[in-house]
């Protein structure tokens, strides 16, 4: 799918991977809507993109708010072709901690609710809108790119909730791609490894360097524009469908 002129919705576009993706799409001629929480820099990022770009405040788990954002994007751009799901949260807690206390269920539930249910909520609403599009020469009506994590495959100690939520995103990728095939809507998931995201950059520099040293090549943290570059290629390449692509420099996470 050619990016020039498409309408795109990017969740979590106020920072990190989402911001880089929104900027990369806009730089190639896409009209971009950023969906993020009110406390994010989503409005600031949207304003910096210029043109038709706009910010929609919403929690990805809020059906009404997401539906409103999707409808607004379709109305403003005339069409919605691309949806990129970058919104997500992290959590770290052992199943039973050193004092014998069990993992807090509310933390597990919230992590899965945002990362998995929230991704599906945005995806389903965006896909329903894309289904209304006229197909292009290849029969395409839309593209959805989800964000999982290397933790979906080799989660570390304390990542039970996070790994489960991201593994769910991986697990639903192929069946949803098959569901939407008749409509000409592709679904692909990216599973990034250790990237320079706001959460990771809060760590002390020595800790970040130690993490970078675990990556075979390149021996550094991934950069958000590299995630964005892969997203752009997924949108462009019609044969990428139903797949999860690890973007991790060949890292395989140790237990801790």
Residues labelled as active-site residues: 162
Copy the structure tokens of residue 49: 């993109």
Rounded Cα gap, residues 221 and 224, in angstroms: 10
- Structural contact between residues 186 and 200, judged by C-beta atoms closer than 8 angstroms: no
* Residue whose C-alpha is closest to residue 145's, from 118, 117, 123, 174: 123
Rounded Cα gap, residues 31 and 49, in angstroms: 9
Please give the backbone phi and psi of residue 249, each rounded to the nearest 5 degrees, phi first: 65, 25
- Structural contact between residues 199 and 184, judged by C-beta atoms closer than 8 angstroms: no
């Amino acid at each position: 799918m050619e990016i020039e002129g498409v309408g795109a919705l990017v969740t979590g576009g106020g920072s990190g991977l989402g911001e880089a993706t929104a900027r990369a799409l806009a730089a190639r001629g896409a009209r971009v809507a950023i969906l993020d929480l009110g406390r994010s820099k989503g409005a600031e990022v949207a304003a910096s993109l210029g043109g038709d770009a706009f910010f929609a405040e919403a929690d990805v788990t809020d059906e009404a708010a997401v539906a409103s954002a999707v409808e607004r994007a379709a109305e403003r751009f005339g069409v919605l072709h691309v949806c990129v799901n970058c919104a997500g949260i992290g959590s770290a807690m052992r199943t039973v901690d050193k004092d014998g206390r069990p993992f807090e269920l509310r933390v597990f539930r919230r992590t899965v609710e945002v990362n998995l249910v929230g991704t599906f909520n945005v995806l389903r609403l965006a896909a329903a809108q894309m289904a209304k599009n006229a197909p292009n020469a290849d029969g395409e009506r839309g593209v959805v790119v989800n964000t999982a994590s290397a933790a979906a495959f080799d989660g570390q100690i304390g990542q039970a909730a996070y790994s489960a939520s991201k593994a769910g995103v991986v697990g639903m990728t192929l069946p949803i791609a098959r569901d939407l095939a008749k409509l000409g809507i592709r679904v692909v998931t990216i599973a990034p490894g250790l990237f320079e995201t706001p959460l990771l950059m809060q760590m002390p520099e020595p800790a970040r360097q130690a993490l970078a040293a675990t990556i075979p090549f390149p021996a550094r943290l991934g950069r958000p524009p590299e995630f964005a570059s892969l997203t752009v290629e997924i949108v462009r390449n019609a044969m990428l469908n139903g797949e999860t692509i690890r973007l991790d420099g060949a890292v395989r996470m140790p237990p801790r």
